[in-house]
Structure 1
Amino acid sequence: MAQEFVSCHPADRDSYTAYLARTPGGDVLQTHAWGELKSRTGWVPRHYGVRDGSDWTAVVSILKRPLPGPGGLALGYAPRGPVVDGPQALGCLVNGLREIAVSERLAFLKVDPGVEDTRFASLLLEAGFRPAGRGQGFEGVQPRHVMRLSLERPLDAILAGFSPKTRYNVNLAVRRGVTTRPATTPEPLPVFYRLLQATARRDGFGIRSYRYYQDLWDCLVEKGLARLFLAEYRGEVLAGTILFHLGTTAWYVYGASSNSHRQVMPNHALQWAMIRWAAEQGCTVYDFRGVSGDLDPAGPLYGLYRFKRGFGATLAEYVGEYDLPFRPFLYWTYTRAEPAYRALRARIAGGNRRRGET
């Protein structure tokens, strides 16, 4: 049976998510739930795919937003997409996207698939995509360089793979009486957000509004795609984290901590708690997400890499960002109007590149 490009309907949502969960490169950022969350911040989600009979062979969730200036054109962005089975499915998907780009008035589509294989980059080039965003730091919308920990070992072997200092800090937190727990209701969200505000002031980065995290709970936590974890010491919440989960992968996405009692290592306790939880869910990969690709120990972001490496994680480099122009002249104009284009990229990234925030 020939493969067919289709627009996804509400009835397709469960099978679409199941395909993402079982396919390499599948990500929470490609789900309908993520599109619903982003729709509350001004994006318009669109979901497409390729079917071979009743089976998906490719899917892509696109977030759409108007471009500045006259003409009523929009950009499309597929975070960690597309997710495809192979070259034929990708070709069918791209042909379909070229057709719908007219009615959707898309000037171009930006993608940043969660794929390491450079052969996939070659397929994107053959399909008409152009490389974009080649920096070594957090220049991209999503981090190109991530730290991933294999969970395909017993927990004691995973713990033994931590660096001596990291393992000491994990055990120190236990000895000092730090406890961890997943939140089962949204009641702790205000506490988490206050910790996030304190972390932002301490480390000098921007954060989203409290309403965004309320929406995240509604759209992701309630649907089993995310969990909020808390670390407590002597009755006080010292740290909080948000973990995404789909299929056999868990992603550490947001982290926050108090300025108090940092010596009891609540952040180490939380990471170990999330790793254990992910393993219990059957995950084979724990993704610490972004680091800089510049591994110079003198670099300003090397400490982030050192912290994540301490848990036994290894560096993975994705193929990076690619753009598919639908209106080449307008795309050329936008990409060469450097000040406006940089502002556009910052708008997509939400001003949180340094932390790799989604």
Structure 2
Amino acid sequence: MTTHEQLPKANAPAGEGTGLRLETIGADLHAAFLRRPGGYTASFLQTPAWARVKTGWRAESLGWFDGAGRLMGTALVLYRQLPGLRRLFAYLPEGPGVDWADPQLERWLDPLADHLRGAGAFAVRMGPPLAYRRWSARTLKDAAGPGRRVGDVLPDLVEPLGAAVADRLRESGWRRCGADGQPRLVFEVPLAGRGLDDLWTGLNQEWRRNVKKAGRSGVRTGVEGPQTLPAFHELLRVTERRDGFDLGRDLGYYQRQYAELNAEQPGRMRLYTARHEGELLAAHTLLTSPDGVRVWYQTGASADHRREVRPSNALQWRMLCDALLAGAAVYDMRGVPDDLDPASRAHGLLRWKLGTGGEAVETVGEWELPLQGAVNKALHRAMHVYLTRR
């Protein structure tokens, strides 16, 4: 993070010296802090609104204050109770929002561990929102082959901060999770400093051809309201059956998400649609960070028929253009498989996203810390089994 504009203190404690104090804060203060310009760009998973989306979890907004009582960082913590027991598992998806470049990182993480331990948590999992390695679309396209994985390929860039933070966490007793709750390998299209012409020439020939074909075929893209969510969900079920996956999210989940995110900040979640002769053929959800710097293509759905008119390509092109014109710096297409084998079905999703000319980004991933005690370690193992089964 960089410098922070001062916000209302909202019962903030007066810390002393260079130490930081961690306190529970209200949702309004938390949301206002995330919207300020020039600060930390928070994931949608770290907003107070997300706490209201995630039923079944108890949530808490936390804030770090400096010695002058200024709010310096925030976190959304989700607590899950282990069935039949009173102890809690604490989860900070794609958070917390702290100064990861601080050479005294313990100023941020030690108070967090103490607070969660006091709240009754036996373990904490967090996902520092930092990039670790990057591969360009060209690099991965050239490296594709039987049995190949993204991790087998020399990256174009290793991010110094991400690498340093991973080392420091390991030295402090944190350990990498075997299976992340959020995607560790994502795909990003950089937008900062680019124009529409740059964005267009960044697409590969197949993408440009498909976008043009959609236009000639009469595909019409737009943004529709919550009344279209049931139709989007029906298309999503079609997509899941066709592609062999199941997100396990009912219509109510998306209706709640749409209502809560947009109530906190209008326009935070939008539903983009592609229609041909009036029929809905594709619908994608787009989320925007509180400061507008990053957007996420979260969930895509498409019909089984009329795929030849390329509605999904037209829809993604519309979303990319809108994000660029709105001033976003990064278009995040979320998770991709690491499979570089052209014969693999999983490679198809990565190949499709590579066509936008962006880059695959490996984050530092999720890390866990048992909150001391042999009993807590046993509970930690039990929670892993529970989450895996869910």
| Bin of the TM-score, shorter chain as denominator length | 0.7 to 0.9
| Residue of structure 2 equivalent to 1:48 | 62
* 2:203 is equivalent to residue 162 of structure 1: yes
Partners of 1:37 and 1:5 in 2: how far apart?
25
Quote the residue 2:351 is aligned against.
306
Amino acid aligned to 1:187 = Q
CA offsets per residue over residues 82-133 of structure 1, 9 Å max, x none?
A: 1212336742332222322233210111111220121121232344322112
- The whole-number CA distance in structure 2 between the counterparts of 1:160 and 1:144 is 28
Q: Is the 8 A contact 1:148 1:314 kept in 2?
A: yes
Change (3 A) 1:95 1:125: same
Q: Select 2:112's aligned residue among 94, 97, 107.
A: 97
Uncovered stretches (5+) of structure 2, i.e. residues with no partner: 1-16, 132-161
Secondary structure of the equivalent of 2:123? strand
Q: Which residue of 2 aligns with 1:149?
A: 189
Larger Rg: 2
* Matching residue of 1:193: 233
In 1, Cα distance between the equivalents of 2:349 and 2:90? 31
CA drift at 1:254: 0.6
1:25–1:80 Cα contact (<8 Å) kept: no
The aligned counterpart of 1:344 is 387
The aligned residue for residue 335 of structure 2 is: 290
How far apart are 1:24 and its partner, in Å? 5.0
Give the TM-score of the pair, scaled to structure 2.
0.80
2:174 maps to which of 106, 111, 129: 129
Q: Tell me, yes or no, if the aligned pair for 1:57 and 1:89 is still in contact at 8 Å.
A: no
Please give the secondary structure, in 2, of the residue aligned with 1:251.
strand
Q: Give the C-alpha shift of residue 311 in structure 1.
A: 0.7
Partner of 1:33: 49
Match for residue 5 of structure 1 among 8, 19, 22: 22
Pairwise CA distance, 1:336? 4.9
Structure 2 vs 1, CA of residues 10 and 286 (structure 1 numbering), >3 Å: closer, same or farther?
closer
| Residue of structure 2 in register with 1:136 after alignment | none
Q: Does residue 14 of structure 1 match 2:31? A: yes
Asked if the contact 2:122/2:380 (under 8 Å) is kept, the reply is no
C-alpha contact (below 8 Å) 1:131/1:322 kept by paired residues: yes
Q: Are the structure 2 counterparts of residues 308 and 213 from structure 1 closer, same or farther at C-alpha, using a change threshold of 3 Å?
A: same
RMSD (Å) for aligned C-alpha atoms = 2.1
Aligned-pair distance for 1:229? 0.5
Change over 3 Å in CA distance of 1:24–1:144 after alignment to 2: farther
Equivalenced residues, count: 335
What is the TM-score of this pair, normalised by structure 1?
0.87
Instruction: Tell me the percent identity.
Output: 35
User: Which one-letter code corresponds to 1:43 in the other structure?
Assistant: W
**Structure 1 unaligned regions, length at least 5:** 134-138, 348-358
Q: Does residue 1:175 correspond to 2:216, yes or no?
A: yes
Deviations 1:126-178 (A, max 9, x none): 44322112xxxxx4211000110011211111111111011111111111110
Task: Confirm whether residue 208 of structure 1 aligns to residue 249 of structure 2.
Answer: yes
Q: Hey, what does 1:240 align to over in structure 2?
A: 283
Letter in 1 for 2:261: L
Q: Tell me the secondary structure at the aligned position of residue 332 of structure 1.
A: helix
- SS of the residue aligned with 1:188? helix
1:37-66 CA distances to partner (integer Å, 9 max, x unpaired)? 11xx21111111212235433221111110
Change (3 A) 1:277 1:94: same
Give the letter aligned to residue 97 of structure 2.
V
- The counterpart of 1:323, out of the listed 332, 349, 368, is 368
Is the contact between residue 34 and residue 41 of structure 2 (CA under 8 Å) also seen in structure 1? no
* Equivalent-residue separation in structure 2 for 1:128 and 1:94 (angstroms): 11
